[in-house]
């Protein structure tokens, strides 16, 4: 039994509000915004790591460092956009890293046999979309779990890339793909402290904006959220569940092909069958750290971009420190991912209660 003379009993009621109205507003505000908590936590973690790196090592908040991070992580940002859409729908795509490898190797080899370079790059995107379509059909029409369907596509794409070539292949000199790595100087800083971007980074920015528009401003995007929230209810509402689900995986695969183009340009036109190993895990980690629920139904493209930068900041600290074993990045990423999964779990349980 509680004591009668508690603080709650001692305080007079708020004069101009009916009893419980203020608390009700706060509860409704919390219910609407609690899904943003992981994203806000990721932002706090990101700035905390960057500030630590600046204090400990210096030259972090410099134009050159920031532009280098943005350019080098442009392919990961592109993959994270596609992965966000897939996970919001309640699925997963484990094939994107292998699809990057296959698309890169196949595209460069097609260039070398005389096919038009722009057509070859279009084929890279088309090949990624094909793998996505196969995965989507298996998931939707053959009731294969997304994990298994995309795992099969991962092995298929990686195997085909190895069949095509076990040695690096080089894009022809003067190929337009090299133009995507051209430095555009936006800020002319002292010495080498310039802020530069590349067409590849601009492509990543456009993909982010396109992904945001698709998820939040189109009927297809609303259907993605509905499928992730409750597929049966989405079907009962007459939403095109089957078409949308297949389309989701096609988008993810096509973006993997686009990421292959951007990455191949970034490394000077060289393609290898070992490219992209573990990239699907980086994309998934970035999406979860950014606040997208693995169970589907909630997620934000911008949150996933924040998640990419969290991983980038961790790599930056390890690189600048020089004494930390790079393999520890996997352990650290796993620990951070575990914390955010537990945070998501706590929030979803609170919503259910």
CA 240 to chain centre: 25
User: 38-352: what fold?
Assistant: ABC transporter involved in vitamin B12 uptake, BtuC (1.10.3470)
CA–CA gap between residue 213 and residue 194 (Å, rounded) = 31
- pLDDT (tens digit per residue) in 288-301: 999 998 889 989 89
- Return the SS3 of 187: strand
Which residues have C-beta within 8 Å of that of residue 312, sequence separation ≥ 6?
Answer: 69, 72, 73, 76
| Span 15-39, average pLDDT | 58
Task: Report pTM.
Answer: 0.89
- pLDDT (tens digit per residue) in 88-98: 999 999 999 99
- pLDDT (tens digit per residue) in 178-214: 999 999 988 776 766 788 999 999 999 999 999 999 9
pLDDT on residue 25:
62
Domain boundaries, the chain: 38-352
Give yes or no for a contact between 132 and 72, defined as CB atoms under 8 angstroms apart: no
């Amino acid at each position: 039994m509680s004591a009668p003379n508690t603080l709650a009993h001692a305080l007079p009621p708020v004069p101009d509000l009916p009893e419980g109205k203020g608390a009700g507003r706060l509860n409704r505000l919390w219910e609407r915004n609690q899904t943003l908590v992981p994203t806000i936590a990721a932002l706090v973690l990101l700035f905390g790591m960057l500030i630590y790196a600046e204090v400990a090592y210096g030259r972090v908040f410099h134009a050159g460092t920031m532009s280098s991070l943005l350019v080098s992580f442009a392919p990961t940002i592109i993959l994270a956009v596609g992965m966000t859409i897939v996970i919001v729908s309640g699925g997963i795509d484990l094939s994107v890293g292998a699809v990057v490898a296959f698309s890169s190797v196949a595209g460069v080899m097609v260039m070398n046999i005389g096919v038009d370079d722009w057509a070859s790059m279009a084929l890279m995107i088309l090949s990624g979309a094909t793998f996505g379509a196969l995965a989507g059909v298996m998931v939707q029409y053959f009731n294969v779990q997304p994990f298994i369907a995309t795992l099969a596509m991962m092995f298929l794409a990686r195997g085909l890339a190895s069949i095509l070539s076990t040695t690096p292949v080089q894009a022809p000199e003067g190929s337009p793909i090299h133009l995507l790595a051209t430095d555009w100087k936006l800020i002319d800083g002292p010495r080498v402290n310039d802020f530069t971007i590349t067409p590849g980074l601009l492509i990543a920015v456009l993909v982010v904006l396109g992904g945001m528009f698709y998820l939040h401003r189109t009927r297809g995007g609303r259907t993605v959220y509905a499928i992730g929230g409750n597929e049966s209810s989405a079907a009962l509402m007459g939403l095109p569940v089957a078409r949308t689900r297949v389309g989701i995986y096609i988008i993810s695969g096509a973006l993997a092909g686009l990421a292959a183009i951007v990455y191949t340009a970034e490394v000077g036109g060289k393609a290898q069958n070992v490219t992209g190993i573990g990239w699907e895990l980086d994309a998934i980690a970035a999406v979860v750290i950014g606040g997208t629920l693995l169970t589907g139904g909630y997620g934000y493209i911008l949150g996933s971009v924040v998640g990419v930068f969290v991983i980038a900041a961790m790599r930056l600290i390890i690189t600048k420190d020089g004494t930390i074993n790079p393999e520890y990045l996997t352990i650290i990423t796993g620990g951070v991912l575990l914390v955010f999964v537990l945070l998501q779990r706590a929030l979803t349980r609170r919503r259910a209660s």
